[in-house]
Amino acid sequence: MRQTLNRDTAINLIIFGLLVATAVGAQLMGDGFTVTLATKAAIFGLAGVGLNLALGYGGLISFGHAAFFGIGGYVTGIFASHASLGTPVTSLPFTVMGSNEMLGIWPMAMLAAGLAALVIGALSLRTSGVYFIMVTLAFAQMLYYFAISWPRYGGEDGLSFYVRNTFPGLNTFAPLQYFTICAALLAIALVFTAVVTQSRFGLTLQAARQNSQRTVAVGIRPYAIRLTAFVLSGMIVGLAGSLYADLNRFVSPSMLSWHMSGEIMVFVILGGVGRLCGPVAGAAIFILLEQVLGGISDYWQALLGLLLLAIVLFAPGGLIGIVTRRGRNA
Amino acid sequence: MLLAEQALNGLQYGMMLFLMAAGLTLVFGVMGLINLAHGSLYMFGAFACAAVAAATGSFWLGLAASLVAAAAAGALVEMVVIRRLYARDHLDQVLATFALILVFSEGTRWLFGSFPLYLTLPPTLSGAVVLPGGLHYPLFRLVIIGFGAAVAVGLWWLITRTRLGIRIRAGEADREMIGALGVDIARLYTIVFALGAALAGFAGALVGSMQSVQVGMGEPVLILAFVVVVIGGIGSIKGALVGALLVGMTDTLGKALLPGLFARVLDTSSANTIGASLASMLIYILMAVVLILRPQGLFGARA
């Protein structure tokens, strides 16, 4: 047990180290595009880490996490656009001004995503199995159609805000500095996940996944535990959405679409469900594949689909699963 | 008059959703499989119809082709991929069928290009008819309502009155037991999957004839079909019919009436905005209400 723990820790450190090394190395060679790709991988990895808390550790197969990703993005876009116009975001019940301070926007994005997760989770967790998947998907789709039919913030066209938000002491426009922010938040989320999953709460969550009836029998109601995990998960994904909005300086309904939910899920599964750094590896590989396959064919998504299919059918543990299994056999 | 027309539109929309949801709910109920690629089979049927209609000049042959091609594609997909997923958890099923969507969509884009195709209806099906009360209504929409009703009756007959139906119901109840009784489960599952696929493909061809045939057309419909299945209850054909009609009516009437209702208390432009946004969320609110009252759906046996 101890040995495998060490091996897992080593793999986690290697994955995170590779991500940082890619960004730093690319910066040294003056390759700004690759730094941006690494930033994207860190952000998607963060979203995957968020989903993994609910999906990997809690067994909650949410197909609606794009909702939280998009909410985080829209909060960021809305605050930033109001800040540049000098108008308040809302004046009821009290005046909230726009902002372009990341440190002010992140809590807002996480709060909004968390509230949405509370409502969606409270309703969806009344169901289980296939119902849960479809209900979370449907709620996310509801927000997607809402964003499309709400012209105030761009509707179908999305919302551009031109200037990246600021972080005290850093130039967020410098690719490596923005990468540093994203990677630091990813590291915090990873440590948070590691601590939470080892805590009494996290262990109960995993117990409820493995055997719900037995958990009930020892006197724990899984509902509240699962809802808490779902909300925490939504908040982390909301933060990732905020970072993604800042990366592109643009938000659109596509951040809320079910393709996004599917992709976040792919990051988790590609890397390995319920493994700490699995989603980070998954996101990085996804972006790598996007680049490589995109260079081979215009129809690269079909190739991606076939590859995913092969992984599901023949390597159910994800890619980290392949690595560790080989490690254990050796 | 407007209300009657919108009610018919809602009925037609509901019938189309029923064709989609019936296949989904059968596959859920019998095999416990969540199939995201159902929307791709819908798209496949529409493209098959468009291609055959263009090649032969006969809309009817196209319609028949949509049934046959979607059933064949469904059977093939079941035998090559889906079959390996029954024993897996839902997560693997979601991911694998998500991957199938990517393959289907890009494959179709490769074959047919990104531009939408249009189908021309034969003269016998196009044009409007005058209904009692003096309402002019497109004939083809009435035909879809008729097809939907016929499929509903046909499925009811198939499931309650035929040998295949007995096996399907038995498979829903206990798959080991019917296997032990000598039913070829693998073949039964392929047949059920192909049947669901045929219905989806047929719906795709009908809707494609009304709007246009394009890549990605199946995905919005798929999510609505999910809403229908959640409202109706998994595995219940009756639930799928009631849910589909509820969703179709709610969506159509909401979009037609809400802006007008809000205009009575608000100025026109904000009434239009709020009305339109709320109308787009209405069916999901309906779903939330059903879930609060009955988490297993209106006709679902188990949650």
Cα gap B65→B50, rounded to integer Å:
9
What confidence score (pLDDT) does residue A32 get?
A: 85
* Residues A122-134, mean pLDDT to the nearest whole number: 88
Query: Which of A142, A150, A300 should be substituted to probe chain B, the one whose Cβ sees the most B Cβ atoms within 10 Å?
Result: A142
Q: Cβ of B280 and A273 within 8 Å?
A: no
What confidence score (pLDDT) does residue A99 get?
A: 83
Question: How confident is the prediction along chain B (303 residues), in pLDDT tens digits per residue?
Answer: 678 888 999 999 999 999 999 999 988 888 888 899 999 999 999 999 999 999 998 999 999 999 999 999 999 999 999 999 988 888 889 889 999 999 999 999 999 888 888 888 888 888 888 888 778 888 999 999 999 999 999 999 998 889 888 888 888 778 788 888 888 888 989 999 999 999 999 999 999 988 889 998 988 899 899 999 999 988 888 999 999 999 999 999 988 888 888 888 877 777 777 888 888 889 988 988 898 888 888 887 653
What confidence score (pLDDT) does residue B15 get?
A: 94
Residues of A with CB under 8 A from a CB of B: 55, 61, 63, 123-124, 126-131, 133-135, 137-139, 141-142, 145-146, 148-152, 258, 262, 265-266, 269, 273, 299-302, 304-309, 312-313, 316
Q: Cβ of A134 and B110 within 8 Å?
A: no
What confidence score (pLDDT) does residue B1 get?
A: 67
Residue of chain A whose alpha carbon sits nearest to that of B89: A129
Least CB–CB distance from B230: residue in A131, A151, A304: A131
In chain B, which residues have their Cβ closer than 8 Å to the Cβ of A149?
A: 273, 276-277, 279-280
What confidence score (pLDDT) does residue B301 get?
A: 67
Cα gap B289→B213, rounded to integer Å:
34
Beta bridge partner(s), residue B128: B138
What confidence score (pLDDT) does residue B177 get?
A: 84
Query: Which of A134, A223, A258, A314 should be substituted to probe chain B, the one whose Cβ sees the most B Cβ atoms within 10 Å?
Result: A134
Burial class (CB in 10 A: 0-12, 13-18, 19+), B45: buried
- Supply the pTM of this predicted model: 0.89
Per-residue pLDDT reduced to its tens digit, A5-47: 677 788 888 889 999 999 999 999 988 899 999 999 999 999 9
What confidence score (pLDDT) does residue B261 get?
A: 83
Token pair 């409007």: residue: B128
Element (H, E) at A288: helix A278-296
- Please check the confidence at residue A92 and state whether its pLDDT lies above 90: no
Residue of chain B whose alpha carbon sits nearest to that of A59: B91
Residue B267 Ramachandran class (φ > 0 left, ψ -120 to 50 alpha, else beta): beta
Q: Cβ of B281 and A127 within 8 Å?
A: no
Per-residue pLDDT reduced to its tens digit, A61-77: 999 999 999 999 999 99
Q: Cβ of A127 and B109 within 8 Å?
A: no
In chain A, which residues have their Cβ closer than 8 Å to the Cβ of B101?
A: 305
Cα gap A305→A4, rounded to integer Å:
32
Per-residue pLDDT reduced to its tens digit, B169-187: 888 778 788 888 888 888 9
Name, in order, each residue with C-beta under 8 angstroms of A29's C-beta and a sequence gap of 6 or more. none
Beta bridge partner(s), residue B117: B213
Q: Cβ of A313 and B109 within 8 Å?
A: no
Q: Quickly state the pLDDT bin for A108 (edges 50, 70, 90).
A: very high
Distance between A129 CA and the closest CA of chain B, angstroms: 7
Per-residue pLDDT reduced to its tens digit, A162-185: 888 889 888 888 889 999 999 999
Average pLDDT of chain A, as a whole number: 88
Q: Is ipTM strictly over 0.90?
A: no
3-state secondary structure of A101: strand
What confidence score (pLDDT) does residue A1 get?
A: 45
| Whole-Å CA distances, A7 to A14, A67, A271 | 10, 35, 16
CB contact at 8 A, A204 and A214: no
Q: Cβ of A149 and B219 within 8 Å?
A: no
